[in-house]
Structure 1
Amino acid sequence: MAGDGDDARPPLSTAFLLMTLGGRIREEIEERLRAERMSLRHLSALGHLARHPGLSYSELARRAGITPQSMQATLNALEERGAVERVTVPGRGRSAQLHVTAEGLRLRRVGTDVVAGIDDRLRVQLGDPTRDALTDALSGLLSGADD
């Protein structure tokens, strides 16, 4: 019935808006990375290994939020491309020592350039003060997510 509030729009959900925008940005990044035969998983693994050489499959998987089996497949693909090299042979109870190669560093730069391009577009769309405030607010929310 008209006038009983059924037609009123619900308030915008911040969580829903962030989730939707995040999904769109993720899709755009993935699409741009595909041109280099990469994915966000590849970029994540290269980033973690570049900062912390020798991390185990399990630790890399935990940091990326995926299963160790998925991380192993990701690292195998990177190894086949020459982006990651295995310094030691993995064995039962032993971690494979993995390191990023020059090709891996190149691919990581390509990936970070993709993300930087999207950041630049957001800076133009939002303006520096708004983008900086949003970045600070989101960073604070992420820091508090571990509490």
Structure 2
Amino acid sequence: MKDSSHPQATPPHPAEDVLDHLGYRLKRAHAALRGAMDQALREHGLTVPQYACLEVLAARPGLSNAELARATFVTRQSMNVVLRGLQDAGLLTRPATVEAGRARPASLTDEGRRRLNAAQGAVYAIEARMIETIPGERLSRLLEELDGMARALKD
């Protein structure tokens, strides 16, 4: 029985099935990427959040917990756990104390850089498999469109 007091919303684009909507398709692609990365990174003794943290720190050494959390799409609390695990494994260092403020900048150790380099090959191969499905001339446009979608939702 339809509830006539609440008119049905019109979808933003035509789709025969709700699972064909853009949001579901993005989530499906994300889930496939995450599953492939989980499997590949397991062989390197890393989780996806740990790998992301190492990769961001390699590009931007010295970031704080909060900055790393934002860059890797996890909460500050989750990043604390990630950083502690990576530090306990000898993959990064953080000073015990800092002169000013509370931020303890993190840096990769030699072992962290070695582990990251080993894992990057597997992760980049996964990304290459995804990209193969997109004609070369369309990739830059797709990346721009994805960035545009993210900006549209920040407002």
When normalised by structure 2's length, the TM-score is: 0.72
Shift of 1:143: 4.3
Structure 1 segments of 4 or more deviating over 6 A? none
Matches within 5 A, 1:19-98: 19-86=27-94, 88-90=95-97, 94-98=102-106
CA-to-aligned-CA distance 1:64-119 (integer Å, 9 cap, x gap): 33333321221111112221012x21379533232111222222223432332122
Q: Which runs of 5+ in 2 are unaligned?
A: 1-14
Identity among equivalent positions (%) equals 27
Amino acid in structure 2 at the alignment position of 1:23: A
When normalised by structure 1's length, the TM-score is: 0.75
Q: Would you say the 8 A contact 1:123–1:131 is kept in 2?
A: yes
Shift of 1:43: 1.6
1: distance between equivalents of 2:152 and 2:122? 27
**Correspondent of 2:124 among 112, 116, 130:** 116
1: distance between equivalents of 2:68 and 2:27? 24
Quickly say closer, same or farther: Cα 1:61–1:133, change in 2 above 3 A: closer
Q: Which runs of 5+ in 1 are unaligned?
A: 1-7
Amino acid in structure 1 at the alignment position of 2:96: V
How many equivalent pairs are there? 139
- Compare 96-105 and 20-29 and name the one that shifted more: 96-105
2: distance between equivalents of 1:135 and 1:93? 37
